[in-house]
Amino acid sequence: MSRSKRAEARRRRRAWWNRAWGLLVVPLAVMAGATGVVVLVTVPDSVNEVRAFRSARPCTFPAAVAADCLRTYPATVRGTAVENQGRSQLYLLKLDGPPPIPAELDMDDEVPLLKHLRKGDHVTVTVWRDYATAVTKDGVTQESTDTPEGWPEIQTAFALDLLTVGGYGGFAGATAVRHARRRSLPDWVAPRGRWTMGAVFASVPAGIIGYETGTGPVVVALLWLALLPAVWLVVERRERHNPGRHSRRPAPSRAADTGTWPRYLANW
């Protein structure tokens, strides 16, 4: 096979590969973006649920069944599981009781109640809707993590990730299909991919801060937007310090006149 035919075969394989992964990425990006929109649309419902939970009061008989209030049920401790070593943290309470008592309940910490509970202890579980929100024994109450608190903030951070990844994936996939026969994709594809990953990482602290403080999805979005310039600055600095092997100036030929070396070093 001649050199020109081999080069043409390589171009065809490259074009086929670019079209293949581009056509695969585009629908996945559309799905990610659509899922992000759906998650974002449900955030107001989660906010309303949190407001209803914060305003809930203990039920007064006989409205305990129908009212949207805090109900209490008796339960028996089946056991506990506590791990607090480095990054491994587990604070689990195992319960026996009628519905809606859960079989296991994450307590988030061992104080003030969990570390004192033993198998066979009788406790009272506070339930709101389908959440087991707290456990009480002998007047000591400890809240669980089974509440709607923090969920709107997590939803917002997740939706921002999906929308960002979906947007970049759609443009990158469409670009790969459009420029399938090129030796390489346009220069903007790789840097913007790193920007996208940086934007995804920026949503993590924004979501954590929103979850821990309960400040709401708007604050999460504003924190995310505030972190984006810092992320892009880091990416830009990395691009300037590591522009890639194709952007380096070629070294002078050995046959070149020795007088060119000082000029080459000065330009470098």
**pLDDT string in tens for the chain (268-residue length):** 567 767 666 777 777 777 887 888 999 999 999 999 999 999 999 999 999 999 999 988 654 555 689 999 999 999 999 998 877 889 999 999 999 999 999 999 999 999 999 999 999 999 999 999 999 999 999 999 999 999 999 999 999 999 999 999 998 888 888 877 666 667 777 778 888 988 998 999 999 999 988 889 999 999 999 999 888 788 777 767 665 544 444 445 444 444 444 443 344 3
User: CA 144 to CA 80: how far, in whole Å?
Assistant: 14
pLDDT at position 72 is 93
pLDDT of residue 65: 55
CA distance 39 to 46: 10
pLDDT reported for residue 183: 64
What confidence score (pLDDT) does residue 8 get? Answer: 66
pLDDT at 246: 44
Q: Where are the alpha helices (DSSP H) in the chain?
A: 3-54, 151-178, 189-213, 217-241, 260-267
Close Cβ partners of 113 (under 8 Å, ≥ 6 residues apart): 107, 135, 136, 137, 140, 141, 142
| Cβ 94 vs Cβ 104: under 8 Å | yes
Q: Which two tokens stand for residue 77?
A: 């401790």
Q: Looking at residue 52, what is its pLDDT?
A: 94
H/E segment holding residue 137: strand 131-137
Q: Check residue 149 and give its pLDDT.
A: 94
Domain edges within the chain: 3-46+150-244, 71-143
